[in-house]
């Protein structure tokens, strides 16, 4: 009997460790069911108290269940009272939010010639480019619905020999996705889309500075036949 109890407890501990490490919940549920069943079997159902009543009309026997009986009552009450918490505990399967990353709407910014590398907590996460946009699939657990995910990314040119002087060869930055603000029904329950990320400016600051410097260095042309204005007279700052 004692060995059966240890075996049942071992199954329950294994289920707890499996949930903490992200093992699929169906396997963890099997471990929980086996652990509870073996624990109840090893405990037995011997009574721990009994009350008899003898009258002329009827005889009543009242017994207080012990072992597995009492434990089954406690487990049943716990499953009823802690139902929502148990449901959250067994929803440890990985879910995803699709974050939409789009370029700035200027005439130069574009993801067409770039490939992306995206990371969450130092680990790479899947992404795909669809048309003009990148979709990044951010994993999370149901217990993390109130957290904020920070995504770091690097966008690099596919062919560096075809460098557009108006665009950056490499764009490195990050963005945040507050999971509590994601609408789970805007694109299906499996991959809801978060599209509140600021657009990415791909324009090269070197090219922009060169254009500004060239514009600032140009002198205004004087109209034909017009004389330039006379310079103002110097101001006398001496004492009166």
Sheet holding 148-157, edge to edge: 123-124, 114-120, 148-157, 170-178
Where are the domains positioned within the chain?
A: 2-89, 95-214
Q: In this predicted structure, what is the pLDDT of residue 113? A: 85
Contacting residues for 197 by C-beta, under 8 A, at least 6 apart: 99, 100, 101, 102, 175, 177
Decide: 71 and 48 in contact? Cβ < 8 Å: no
Q: In this predicted structure, what is the pLDDT of residue 53? A: 55
How confident is the prediction for the chain on average, in pLDDT? 74
Higher-confidence residue of 177 and 58: namely 177
Using CA of residue 105, residue 176, residue 24, residue 79, what is the dihedral sign? negative
- Yes or no: domain 95-214 corresponds to CATH 2.60.40: yes
pLDDT band at 13 (very low <50, low <70, confident <90, very high): confident
pLDDT digits (tens, 9 = 90+) for 178-208: 999 988 777 655 788 898 999 998 888 765 5
- One DSSP character per residue, 120-134 reads ETTEE--EEEETTEE
Q: In this predicted structure, what is the pLDDT of residue 102? A: 93
Q: How far is residue 206's CA from residue 203's CA, in Å, rounded to a whole number?
A: 9
Q: Strand runs (DSSP E) across 33-79, as ranges?
A: 47-54, 59-65
Q: How far is residue 225's CA from residue 240's CA, in Å, rounded to a whole number?
A: 42
Q: In this predicted structure, what is the pLDDT of residue 77? A: 74
With a cut of 90, say whether residue 41 has pLDDT above it. no
Q: How far is residue 169's CA from residue 163's CA, in Å, rounded to a whole number?
A: 7
Q: In this predicted structure, what is the pLDDT of residue 32? A: 76
pLDDT band at 116 (very low <50, low <70, confident <90, very high): very high
Q: What residues pair up with 133 in beta bridges, in sequence order?
A: 130
């Amino acid at each position: 009997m004692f060995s059966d109890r240890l075996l049942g407890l071992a199954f329950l501990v294994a289920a707890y460790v499996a949930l903490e490490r992200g093992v699929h919940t169906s396997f963890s549920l099997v471990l929980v069911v086996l652990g509870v069943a073996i624990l109840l079997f090893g405990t037995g159902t011997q009574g721990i108290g009994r009350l008899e009543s003898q009258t002329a009309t009827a005889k009543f026997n009242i017994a207080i269940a012990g072992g597995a009986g009492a434990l089954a009552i406690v487990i049943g009450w716990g499953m009823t009272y802690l139902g929502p918490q148990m449901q959250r505990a067994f929803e440890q399967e990985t879910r995803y939010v699709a974050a939409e990353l789009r370029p700035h709407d200027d005439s130069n910014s574009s993801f067409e010639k770039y490939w992306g590398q995206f990371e969450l907590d130092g680990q790479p996460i899947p992404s795909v480019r669809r048309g003009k946009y990148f979709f990044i699939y951010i994993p999370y657990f149901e217990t993390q619905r109130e957290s904020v995910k920070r995504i770091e990314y690097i966008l690099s040119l596919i062919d560096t020999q075809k460098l557009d002087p108006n665009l950056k060869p490499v764009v490195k930055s990050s963005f945040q996705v507050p999971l509590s603000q994601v609408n789970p029904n805007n694109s299906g329950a499996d991959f809801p889309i978060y599209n509140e990320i600021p657009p990415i400016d791909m324009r090269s600051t070197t090219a922009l500075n060169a254009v500004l410097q060239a514009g600032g260095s140009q002198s205004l042309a004087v109209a034909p036949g017009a004389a330039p204005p006379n310079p103002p007279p110097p101001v006398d700052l001496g004492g009166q």
